[in-house]
């Protein structure tokens, strides 16, 4: 092993060593005993993922070493559980968005008297060779899928797919690109604006589906992307959120994407039953955020972010 690799390699820690490391870094065990914390790390979560939420806590210097301020093991547990429930919720909502995006496109194409074949062919012709090859490989990868094989084997030529089959075998990312193509085809400026928001929905959906942490870094100014004017305008209508708070919270890339997804679901879904289900699940999530709110009384970053999310949920998804 090279010297450079040795310098970069960190030894794997036993659960006992993980607890000792947490204590060294200022993590306390007031609400969870060390024995219960060890059991949690063995059966419920793992050290690397759990400790990622420490980014939301400040540090102070004690005896020449920087340690976390007011960070108990229970707080990390609580954030991990909230994050897990948020991921499940985001995947559920994004599936609704994907489904109704397809419905919207099919209705739009019928409205413009398309035959359903030419528009697919024109979209494919708009791609460069690399884009086309990636899309073709994307579709062909599903050739052995028990869910898509019949569709794909029925249409061996990608350029002869009808729209109603095409949207069933492409990824959400390709669907969003096709959405943009349709907006340009019909000179629909609103679709171009929605395309940007849909890309944010895809990003946070992918993160949630791959079990990436969502709320492990709530700090401001973590994105270089501007929030869509449509989302900003809708947030500005919420009286309890000041302009300063809105700008600060939406400068966090994770919160920006979550709020953009909530906005798109609110805008796109016409089904009363699906909307009602979203209200129930979002309000349940909001209650979960509040359950241990006292944990974060001294942490302005977490407290104000949770307050922001709760206010948005209450205003966009109110209980009837």
The predicted-structure confidence for 14-32, as pLDDT tens digits, reads as follows 999 999 999 999 999 999 9
pLDDT tier at 4, thresholds 50, 70, 90: low
pLDDT tens-digit readout, 263-297: 999 999 999 999 999 999 999 999 999 999 999 99
Whole-angstrom distance, CA of residue 116 vs CA of residue 178: 13
Mean pLDDT for the stretch of residues 25-53: 93
Residue 204 has pLDDT above 50, yes or no: yes
222 closest CA partner among 249, 246, 252: 252
Task: Return the pLDDT at 62.
Answer: 83
Looking at per-residue confidence, does 12 or 73 come out higher?
73
Task: Return the pLDDT at 1.
Answer: 47
Mean predicted lDDT score pLDDT of the chain = 93
Using a pLDDT cut of 90, give the percent of the chain over it.
85
Task: Return the pLDDT at 2.
Answer: 52
Q: What is the CA radius of gyration of the chain?
A: 23
Residue 178 has pLDDT above 70, yes or no: yes
Mean pLDDT for the stretch of residues 173-184: 96
pLDDT tens-digit readout, 230-244: 999 999 999 999 999
pTM, whole model, 2 decimals?
0.92
Task: Return the pLDDT at 7.
Answer: 56
**If you count them, how many residues does the chain have?**
320
């Amino acid at each position: 092993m090279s010297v450079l690799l040795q310098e970069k390699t960190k030894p794997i820690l036993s659960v006992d060593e993980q607890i000792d490391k947490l204590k060294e870094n200022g993590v306390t065990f007031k609400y969870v005993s060390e024995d219960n914390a060890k059991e949690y790390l063995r059966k419920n979560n793992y050290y690397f993922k759990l400790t990622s939420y420490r980014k939301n806590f400040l540090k102070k210097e004690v005896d020449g070493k920087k340690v976390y301020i007011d960070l108990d093991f229970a707080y990390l547990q609580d954030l991990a559980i909230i994050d897990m429930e948020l991921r499940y919720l985001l995947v559920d909502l994004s599936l609704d968005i994907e489904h109704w995006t397809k419905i919207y496109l099919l209705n739009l194409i019928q409205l413009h008297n398309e035959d359903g074949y030419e528009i697919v062919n024109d979209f494919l012709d708009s791609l460069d060779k690399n884009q086309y090859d990636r899309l073709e490989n994307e579709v062909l990868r599903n050739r052995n899928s028990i869910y898509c094989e019949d569709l794909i084997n029925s249409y061996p030529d990608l350029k002869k797919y009808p729209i109603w089959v095409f949207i069933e075998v492409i990824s959400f990312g390709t669907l969003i690109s096709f959405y943009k193509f349709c907006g340009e085809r019909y000179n629909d400026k609103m679709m171009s604006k929605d395309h940007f928001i849909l890309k944010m929905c895809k990003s946070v959906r992918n993160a949630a589906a791959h079990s990436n942490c969502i709320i492990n870094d709530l700090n401001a100014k973590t994105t270089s992307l501007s929030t869509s004017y449509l989302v900003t305008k809708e947030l500005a209508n919420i009286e309890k959120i000041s302009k300063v708070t809105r700008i600060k919270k939406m400068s966090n890339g994770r919160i920006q994407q979550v709020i953009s997804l909530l906005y798109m679901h609110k805008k796109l879904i016409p089904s009363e039953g699906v909307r009602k289900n979203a209200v129930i699940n979002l309000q349940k999530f909001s209650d979960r955020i509040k359950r241990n709110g006292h944990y974060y009384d001294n942490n302005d970053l977490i407290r104000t972010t949770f307050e922001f999310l709760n206010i948005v949920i209450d205003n966009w998804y109110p209980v009837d």
